[in-house]
Amino acid sequence: MANDIDFYFDFSSPYGYFAANRIDALAAKYQRAVKWRPVLLGAIFKRSGVLPLMEIPLKGEYSLHDIIRTARFHGIPYRHPSTFPISTQAPARAVLWLQNNAGDAEAIAFAKAAYHAFFVDDINIGEPEQVKHIAEQLGLPAGAMIDGIATPAIKEQFKTAVELAVARGVFGSPYVIADSEPFWGFDRFDQLEAYLKNGTI
Amino acid sequence: MANDIDFYFDFSSPYGYFAANRIDALAAKYQRAVKWRPVLLGAIFKRSGVLPLMEIPLKGEYSLHDIIRTARFHGIPYRHPSTFPISTQAPARAVLWLQNNAGDAEAIAFAKAAYHAFFVDDINIGEPEQVKHIAEQLGLPAGAMIDGIATPAIKEQFKTAVELAVARGVFGSPYVIADSEPFWGFDRFDQLEAYLKNGTI
């Protein structure tokens, strides 16, 4: 089987959420699995000097319009969160903890549920109690997970993961690397599909 | 006939060039004409505090890769200019002068030829003598045009045009406004087409 596709995303990124809705099905169509890799855009933006989307004059206002229109265009449910953006350390570390202690499938199920909670049900997934509740609803070991994401070990693991992402060139969300080919943005999924189909682009 | 589509672009913008290759045919398919409106991204970025694409760490390197890949993906000829980016006052003012003194069709023919000269033939269209040469090849009144773009009147007209663009929310290139619906980026041409087709999106 071909290499896993690396899917980098921030839980506070609407375009990351759109990608999360589609990446597994797209990859499966071409016999690929996806490695879900949460990152922290805040930490990445600090390195690149880029402002968060919503803070850029003109672009911020346009972006909100574009996000809502893009969701509608692609038939993806979306309600803009009342608290936005948020800090996403808690759900990001939860994904890592689940990958370590439960499995990739469980981590992906949690990530999808967390994204849905934030961008459809307007639940602030930056709060550990919400993260715990989402894991409980999926029948995951929520208590152990919440203890786990507060440990220095998982914090260090996540910090290293973000640094490795930056070292691979990741500067935004979603950011997909298939083999060594990088694709930034949900709007490059057409090119990602062409690459997966043809093995070149 | 429905309203003209406003097409804002900077002559130094690769994605603007891609859009320039497609906008007229797309609009014509839905019985629309296009008003070509050159802007200066440098002046716009100063207002928004945004850095030029190529100057952003990580994003700059990715962008060059994305530009070349996007051209190939869409079957648009592209050779990255050896001098890039450039100041685009001269060709932008030439478009305005031609709109004033020759006609919209002549202005569009010039704009397409200038984009092709820059992004295919590696000609520095920031230089007035190159702008003149392009106009000559099209049988346009090149001498009068070159005198015209040096006048305070055309400089003032262009400055006002850029300010009006910013007032309408334009913050990048390409930026298309159909009726009052804004579309930033060549990668939104799918949504632009849906809007033109259905009158809503």
Residue A161 structure tokens? 């993961």
> Residue A44's pLDDT is what?
87
pLDDT greater than 70 at residue B25: yes
Q: Which of A185, A175, A173, A181 is nearest to A197 (CA)?
A: A181
> Residue B158's pLDDT is what?
98
CB < 8 Å to A201, chain B: 69, 72-73
- The band of B57, judged by pLDDT with boundaries at 50, 70 and 90, is confident
- The band of B1, judged by pLDDT with boundaries at 50, 70 and 90, is low
Among candidates A65, A170, A187 on the partner chain, residue whose Cβ is nearest the Cβ of B187: A187
* Summary mean pLDDT of chain B: 96
The answer to whether A49 contacts B72, with C-beta atoms less than 8 Å apart, is: no
The answer to whether B50 contacts A70, with C-beta atoms less than 8 Å apart, is: no
Min Cα–Cα distance to chain B from A40, Å:
16
> pLDDT in tens for each of the 201 residues of chain A?
689 999 999 999 999 999 999 999 999 999 999 999 999 998 888 877 777 778 888 888 999 999 999 999 999 999 999 999 999 999 999 999 999 999 999 999 999 999 999 999 999 999 999 999 999 999 999 999 999 999 999 999 999 999 999 999 999 999 999 999 999 999 999 999 999 999 999
pLDDT greater than 80 at residue B48: no
pLDDT greater than 70 at residue B150: yes
Q: Which of B133, B140, B49 is nearest to B90 (CA)?
A: B133
Backbone angles phi, psi at B5, to 5 degrees: -90, 135
Q: Which residues contact B100 (CB under 8 A, 6 or more apart)?
A: B148, B154, B157
* Nearest chain A residue to B187, by CA: A187
> Residue B49's pLDDT is what?
72
Q: Which CATH number is B5-198's, of 1.20.1090.10, 3.40.30.10, 3.40.50.720, 3.40.50.20?
A: 3.40.30.10
Q: Which residues contact B167 (CB under 8 A, 6 or more apart)?
A: none
pLDDT digits (tens, 9 = 90+) for B152-177: 999 999 999 999 999 999 999 999 99
> Residue B76's pLDDT is what?
98
Mean pLDDT across the stretch B16-38? Answer: 98
Give the domain ranges of chain B: 5-198
* Nearest chain A residue to B54, by CA: A48
The answer to whether A201 contacts B47, with C-beta atoms less than 8 Å apart, is: no
Q: Give the residue with greater pLDDT, B48 vs B39.
A: B39
Q: Does the structure's ipTM exceed the value 0.90?
A: yes
* Nearest chain B residue to A183, by CA: B66
Backbone angles phi, psi at A6, to 5 degrees: -90, 120
Give the CA radius of gyration of chain B: 16
Task: Note the pTM of the prediction, 2 decimals.
Answer: 0.96
> Residue A56's pLDDT is what?
83
